[in-house]
Structure 1
Amino acid sequence: MNEQKLRQIFSQSLGIDESQIIDTLEYSTIPEWDSIAHMSLIAAIDEAFDIMLDTEDVIDMSSYGKAKEILKKYDVEF
């Protein structure tokens, strides 16, 4: 369930199809994932999972796979 929720957040925040969202999807490898979209993505993740990501985690979130890894620190299971 959390995997699907995160995929939808990435899809909506970046304006891309869910089929493009794989663990190796990385920041700035697609034009849609720029700094503005990144902040939108972070805000959506914070809201959806009722957490507040640390600044370090916001900066570290460089791929979809890394996002899942970071969220596990906040007790979000995948």
Structure 2
Amino acid sequence: MNEQKLKTIFAEALDTAENMIQDDLAYNSIEQWDSIAHMTLIAAIDEGFDIMMDTDDVIDLSSYAKAKEILGKYGVAF
């Protein structure tokens, strides 16, 4: 359930198809994931999972797989 929710958030924030969202999807690996989209993505993840990522995690969030790892620190299970 959380996996699907995160995929949807990524797809909407990055304006791309959900089937493009895989563990190896990384920052700047697709044209849509630039610095502006990154902040949109962070805001959407924070809102979607009712958390507030700290600055280190925002900077550290460099891939879809890393997003799942970071969310785990906030009690979100995958």
- Classify the TM-score, shorter chain: over 0.9
What's the counterpart of residue 13 of structure 2?
13
**DSSP-derived class of the 1:69 partner:** helix
- For structure 2, the 5+ residue unaligned runs are none
Q: Aligned runs of 1:20-59 on 2, under 5 Å?
A: 20-59=20-59
TM-score w.r.t. length of structure 2: 0.99
Gaps of 5+ in 1: none
In the alignment, the residues of structure 1 paired with residue 40 and residue 50 of structure 2 have an alpha-carbon distance, to the nearest angstrom, of 15
- Count of aligned positions: 78
Identical positions, percent: 67
Instruction: State the 1:69 CA deviation.
Output: 0.3
Match of 1:73 in 2: 73
TM-score (norm 1): 0.99
CA-atom RMSD in angstroms: 0.3
Runs of 4+ in 1 over 4 A off after TM superposition: none
